[in-house]
DNA sequence: GCGACAG
DNA sequence: ATCTTGTCGC
């Protein structure tokens, strides 16, 4: 079994869930929950999907203006899938594609949103936290379901939230982002605090359940990439959004 | 032991 | 995640 030292991703996984879990615990120690990033100029949203019956992992990334939330550019990366889906080990399966998508950007975002958990994970290393540690970028995890922990039902009004608790500590927030919609599970990925993370999700909502970074990445990802990819798609973005 | 289990 | 139309409720 080989391991990529910088990202903590297995080059070829030997199927050892035990080894993967202990590696997560080690990487989790590098996660910072301190707010230490400048006022963002550009944000990025990432989403992962699969093609060819799971043989190909597809990552979509959208770069957007932090003030207007308008998309600037988008890309889709495809890599061969190297691991099966195992609850709790999601990042090892999806990280390679996320890294490939990040490499396609023409500029680096100051804050990234990833579809999935940040520290709201059994060992505090959901995909947003793993991605944050692997890239060093400030990251927020926005998931549609709970993986670890429990929470009370948040109030019905957008903005209402309830703490997500696990083993005596708060690991995230169940946030009502839209009326009559199930709450989002928001947790810090890296270099951001619990409160600042929800604050950014609130600040990037545009009337939909998902915040713009994640919502736009979801959109181009579900188009199966027929239209999008590379800079050409970014220039032609009016036909996409 | 039983149930839960991001995407 | 993915296969997929209509349909119920705001």
A145 touches strand B (CB under 7 A): yes
What confidence score (pLDDT) does residue A77 get? 97
Which nucleotides of chain B are near protein (any atom < 7 Å from a CB)? 5-7
DSSP SS3 for A231: helix
Within 10 A of A227 (CB to CB), how many other CB atoms are there? 14
> How many DSSP H helices and E strands does chain A contain?
6, 10
As a whole number, mean pLDDT of residues A219-239 equals: 50
Q: What is the CATH number of domain A2-239?
A: 3.30.2170.10
Q: Which residues touch strand C (CB under 7 A)?
A: A 48-50, 54, 85, 144, 180, 221-222
Beta-carbon contacts of A216 under 8 Å, excluding residues fewer than 6 positions away, are: A45, A62, A64, A71, A74, A241
What confidence score (pLDDT) does residue A7 get? 85
Compute the distance between CA of residue A200 and CA of residue A92 in angstroms, rounded to an integer: 26
**Nearest nucleotide, C1' to the C-alpha of A53?**
C2
Beta-carbon contacts of A223 under 8 Å, excluding residues fewer than 6 positions away, are: A240
Looking only at the bridges linking them, the beta strands covering A42-51 and A56-65 are: antiparallel
Q: Report whether pLDDT(A203) > 70.
A: yes
Confidence category of residue A233, pLDDT binned at 50, 70, 90: very low
Residue whose CA lies closest to nucleotide C9 C1': A180
């Amino acid at each position: 079994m080989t391991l990529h030292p910088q990202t903590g991703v297995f080059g070829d996984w030997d199927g050892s869930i035990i080894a993967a879990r202990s590696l997560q615990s080690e990487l989790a120690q590098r996660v910072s929950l301190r707010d230490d990033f400048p006022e963002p100029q550009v944000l990025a949203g990432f989403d992962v999907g699969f093609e060819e019956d799971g043989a190909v992992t597809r990552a979509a990334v959208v770069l957007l203006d932090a003030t207007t939330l308008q998309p600037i550019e988008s890309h889709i990366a495809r890599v061969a899938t190297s691991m099966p889906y195992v609850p709790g080990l999601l990042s090892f399966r999806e990280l390679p594609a996320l890294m490939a998508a990040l490499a396609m950007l023409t500029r680096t975002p100051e804050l990234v949103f990833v579809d999935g958990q940040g520290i709201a994970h059994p060992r505090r290393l959901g995909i947003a936290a793993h991605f944050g540690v692997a890239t060093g970028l400030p990251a927020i995890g926005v998931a549609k379901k709970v993986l670890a922990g429990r929470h009370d039902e948040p109030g019905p009004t957008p903005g209402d939230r309830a703490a997500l608790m696990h083993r005596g500590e708060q690991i995230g927030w169940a946030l009502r982002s839209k009326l009559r919609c199930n709450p989002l599970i928001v947790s810090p990925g890296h270099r951001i605090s619990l409160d600042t993370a929800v604050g950014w999700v609130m600040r990037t909502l545009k009337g939909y359940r998902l915040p713009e970074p994640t919502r736009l990445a979801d959109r181009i990802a579900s188009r199966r990439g027929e239209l999008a990819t590379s800079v050409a798609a970014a220039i032609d973005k009016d036909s996409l959004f």
